[in-house]
Amino acid sequence: MQLPVESLRRATLGLGIGTLVVGTVPWIAPRPFARAFGLSTGESTVTDLLIRSVSARDAISGIGILSATIHGGRVAPWILARALSDGTDTLAVGIAWKSGARSSGLAALGGIALAATILDVALYLAHKQLARRPLPG
């Protein structure tokens, strides 16, 4: 089943905006973000650095997705990068869980990463399918 082009565009803009927001908020406030998901922070600037590093990656992905969508560029590579990033986040949470770091906050973070990965892959496939459509006329 193919999404109508305008629905795909709106969904992609939503992904870009959401990714930008999800990247910007923890970058600005890494410790409240960590506490919200039950991650230990202490007063560690290393924890801040790690959260900001992942957050910057997300914000940059969001900007890339938005820019490619708005300006008619190739958005599929940006979404594929987003899917791979979210997929590795999901895997990292799974490894932490398997290693004994079990909390409801970590489970929520893993669930969000998994849901994002599924959405990313669905949008990536929709864009690839759209690119293969024959031109009208």
pLDDT at position 37, please?
A: 86
Compute how many other C-beta atoms are within 10 angstroms of the C-beta atom of residue 135. Answer: 4
- Sequence-separated (6 or more) residues with CB below 8 Å from residue 120: 15, 79, 80, 82, 83, 86, 87
pLDDT at position 133, please?
A: 67
Does the residue 137 lie in any domain? no
Residues of the chain with pLDDT under 70: 1-2, 41, 133-137
Total of domains in the chain: 1
Range of the domain at 121: 5-132
The pTM is what? Answer: 0.88
Does the residue 26 lie in any domain? yes
